């Protein structure tokens, strides 16, 4: 079965540079989530999109922005990178459906490991 695809798998950037992470959700999934996981930390919710509209926002810095496109893929744009942005970034997708499904679990991609030097 098709899974969530993230690219790139690894990314090395310098301070103050910009990075773009991409996510392709499971086909027919209508909701995309972005999480940041630092070393030894739990995944921290950044932002989510439902049917291409931002649906919820967590602890996402103002330097970051995200969007979901017409083909449902999503991109996380990170500017003015700081050393503390080094982390694993996960994208997840789920199927909420038109009626909304509170019980639909998240399915995660393999993640992008961002290292800021």
Partner 1 sequence: RKEVEQDPGPFNVPEGATVAFNCTYSNSASQSFFWYRQDCRKEPKLLMSVYSSGNEDGRFTAQLNRASQYISLLIRDSKLSDSATYLCAVREGYQKVTFGTGTKLQVIP
Asked whether position 38 contacts partner 1 by CB under 8 A, the answer is no
C-alpha–C-alpha distance, residues 87 and 35, integer Å: 10
Of the two residues 8 and 58, which places its CB atom closer to partner 1 in the complex?
58
Asked whether position 24 contacts partner 1 by CB under 8 A, the answer is no
Of 73, 75, 86, 108, the one binding partner 1 (CB under 8 A) is 108
Which DSSP helix (H) or strand (E) runs through 41? none
Backbone angles phi, psi at 4, to 5 degrees: -75, 130
C-alpha–C-alpha distance, residues 68 and 48, integer Å: 9
Of 79, 86, 110, 115, the one binding partner 1 (CB under 8 A) is 110
Asked whether position 90 contacts partner 1 by CB under 8 A, the answer is yes
């Amino acid at each position: 079965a098709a899974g969530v695809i993230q690219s790139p798998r690894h990314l090395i950037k310098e301070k103050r540079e910009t990075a773009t992470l991409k996510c392709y959700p499971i086909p027919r999934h209508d909701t995309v989530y972005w999480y940041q996981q630092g070393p030894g930390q739990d995944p921290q919710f950044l932002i989510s999109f439902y049917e291409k509209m931002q649906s919820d926002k967590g602890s996402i810095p103002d330097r970051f922005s995200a969007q979901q496109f017409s083909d449902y893929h999503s991109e996380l744009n990170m500017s003015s990178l700081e050393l503390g942005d080094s982390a694993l970034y996960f994208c997840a997708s789920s199927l909420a459906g038109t009626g909304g499904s509170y019980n639909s679990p998240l399915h995660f991609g393999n993640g992008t490991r961002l290292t800021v030097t």
